Chains A and B, each alone.
Chain A
């Protein structure tokens, strides 16, 4: 009976309510904190993007973050597009990016010896910043993802493309190559 009285005393009630209040308040605050930590992703215009260059091949397509180059290749001869396409950083700070290859599609790889994509800074003569080489022959191969390259704000770099086909290449053979630009913050 005494215990029962003690349990129902005002102080006990207050202490119990105080403890549960502390529990609820801190749990709610932690939930609010976790909500405030959730990131939001806003789709915006890319700041590192492709722009046309002086040797941009005729019939090629370009949007900010995507480019389809209509490149030629000659049997037993090397063809160089000095400034096939440019990469520009229009953001307000330096950006780091890299080029990531994918497996080409289209006609047989035996129609090409290699297709090289070399990233230069825009100085003449340019300094190689990174390169991506596709090799034909029996099957397509590539040198893999380029290293990270840091491009300054408002700066344009250029991509030189060099193609070569073997003497046995079929005329009008076509291959499609997709290269993606991965930008890191």
Chain B
């Protein structure tokens, strides 16, 4: 097995950063979210920090396989929160423009990053992971992010496309 260039704890570190980002974004958009949400995300990030601490202490006890899955699960929770906030903006707040901006600027770029690292890790470690799902996720995230960037740089692009 090749040297683990990336440890499974990387996913926990990435998730901590995602929670912190969500905390700051929900603070910026505090008129659209409940007041407690930024603090809840700070606590979630702190839990991730504790999670890393525990992982370090029991590194020898927990195998690589187990470490990957509990870190991956924590990252899934973080990603689910991003999607949930996106859905909340779209459905509950009916802020379609903001929801679209959120999906283009936050949801899909972060999904792209997460999928990229998971596929890289599963390739290096020879993990039995459904690579097809990862590849599809990677392509979808990249396409949506590309379209979002194009729309952001040229807002008339969508109207032009509709006219055709």
Contact = CB atoms under 8 A, between A and B. Distances in A.
A28 interface: yes
Contact of B27 (A14, A32, A34, A36): A14
A35 B59 contact: yes
A108 B56 CA distance: 52
Nearest to A21: B20
A17 to B, nearest CB: 5
Contacts, number: 60
Given A25-B16, A32-B10, A20 B42 contact: yes
Interface residues of B, number: 24
Contacts of B53: 31
B105 interface: no
Contacts of A38: 56, 59
Contacts of B17: 25, 28
Contacts of B10: 32
Interface string B28-69: 101000000010001001101100110110010000000000
B28 to A, nearest CB: 7
Interface residues of A, number: 18
A32 B24 contact: no
B56 A35 contact: yes
Interface of B: 7, 9-10, 12-13, 16-17, 20, 23-24, 27-28, 30, 38, 42, 45-46, 48-49, 52-53, 55-56, 59
Interface in A11-67: 13-14, 17-18, 20-21, 24-25, 27-29, 31-32, 34-36, 38
Contacts of B56: 31, 34-35, 38
A36 B55 CA distance: 12
